[in-house]
Structure 1
């Protein structure tokens, strides 16, 4: 009972070092979970966490390392020029172009997640928004966008700025013919929004294939969005997954 009460709210920190460690632990766990759920696709995909002290820097996965192997000590720190200032691995150029633009445009965002997950890619190929088909999908009701253009691999910072502009103040954007991107005020939140968005894309693709579905009415979708789509709910929903992945893969916390 006491432990449950403790977990009801996000932790607070007395030093940037404490908060940095927390963010990196959550980031490594998010990568392991993405690997577990099959969100990896070769060297594609990245999750970033803004550094709490050097706020124009972010932590990200090493380019070429499997999500399934990433530990806290493997994460690299990248500055606003795309230079690796901590760590021995290179940074994915696309990760820098996309995430630097998102973090710059959204000071409120601590973390951003992008991957080429199967159902996210499938829905992105249709160029449509996520529909309020289920309670879970309502987390994104009027809180996501579609980036309705595709110009190849994102290797230009200008393309990253266009993605950030499409995202706007929302929690997610569907990148046409590409995949999904989610953001949050914690790593926990950004990772959870990606996981549940991917699952909601799966439901929509299956419903469309079945040839018929019923939408949740706008008024009820809005009410449900307030219930399941809040920052607090995003953080809390990630906690069981974090506890589980750390229990079965404790080495991910190695520094």
Structure 2
């Protein structure tokens, strides 16, 4: 991706982050993971404590560009003079994690059909597939409390997440976070696949659980099939090439 700053007072690092996040929104739209103008992917601004980028409320994912992303601080104050508002629900949920978790550089929350379906099931994510096995014992759960606009729910979100970085919001959807955007992207992709397979397997017959000892081996060995450039990096770059062939307007 190009790293030259769009505006004279914007650092190259921020512009690169904006392009990366805009690309992610376009990828999610291409994959069918968007939800009208709702849901959020947020990314910390490199080198700026407490500042992160979020989608402009009112635009679809397919309309997001590097320059129209909104830069806000941890308290929801605009930092870039954007004419767009920010969804209160998105800010309330994402800001609590950005505030309290130093490693949560990118946070993704979606309402995909498969993700919401599994989140609405009593058993949650079951150990029945290659992808689900990667998350077993590493996924948190948080009970539905209504639309997330009350700050006090943040304490319970943090407590329920604990040391995990993937969460099923019961009756609501999925939440993943990563130390980088590509890492969070790959986690979301894998979780989405796990949920899709669980829904399909339930319709097809009686799913068979993977034994705990096999899951342990699977989780131990997963890193052995990744390229040595960082988790999710080649996967994300492959998808950037896909959306570039469709429309490069997100880069502006």
Residues 23 and 187, structure 1, Cα contact 8 Å, conserved in 2: no
The yes-or-no answer on 1:36 pairing with 2:37 is: no
Which residue in the other structure is 2:131 paired with? 136
CA distance in 2, matches of 1:76, 1:59: 5
Query: What does 1:175-194 correspond to in 2, within 5 Å?
Result: 175-194=169-188
CA distance in 2, matches of 1:19, 1:204: 39
CA distance in 1, matches of 2:246, 2:37: 24
Q: TM-score, normalised by structure 1?
A: 0.86
Query: What does 1:61-140 correspond to in 2, within 5 Å?
Result: 61-86=55-80, 87-140=82-135
Residues 22 and 65, structure 2, Cα contact 8 Å, conserved in 1: yes
5+ long unaligned stretches in structure 2: 1-9
The CA deviation at 1:18 is 3.4
The CA deviation at 1:103 is 1.1
CA distance in 2, matches of 1:77, 1:122: 32
Aligned partner of 2:13 among 19, 24, 27? 19
The CA deviation at 1:232 is 3.3
The CA deviation at 1:168 is 2.2
CA distance in 2, matches of 1:108, 1:245: 28
The size of the alignment, in residue pairs, is: 239
Task: Give every structure 1 segment of 4 or more consecutive aligned residues whose post-TM-superposition deviation is greater than 4 Å.
Answer: none
The CA deviation at 1:38 is 1.8
The CA deviation at 1:122 is 0.6
Q: TM-score, normalised by structure 2?
A: 0.87
Residues 127 and 177, structure 1, Cα contact 8 Å, conserved in 2: no
Query: What does 1:90-239 correspond to in 2, within 5 Å?
Result: 90-147=85-142, 149-228=143-222, 232-239=230-237
Deviations 1:105-129 (A, max 9, x none): 2101110000111100111111433
CA distance in 2, matches of 1:77, 1:186: 18
Deviations 1:19-42 (A, max 9, x none): 322322221111111111222222
Q: Over aligned residues, Cα RMSD in angstroms? A: 2.1
CA distance in 1, matches of 2:130, 2:231: 13
5+ long unaligned stretches in structure 1: 1-15
Q: Which has the higher helix share?
A: 1
The CA deviation at 1:85 is 1.5
CA distance in 2, matches of 1:250, 1:158: 41
Residues 59 and 76, structure 1, Cα contact 8 Å, conserved in 2: yes
Q: Once structures 1 and 2 are overlaid, which stretch shifts more, 221-230 or 83-92?
A: 221-230
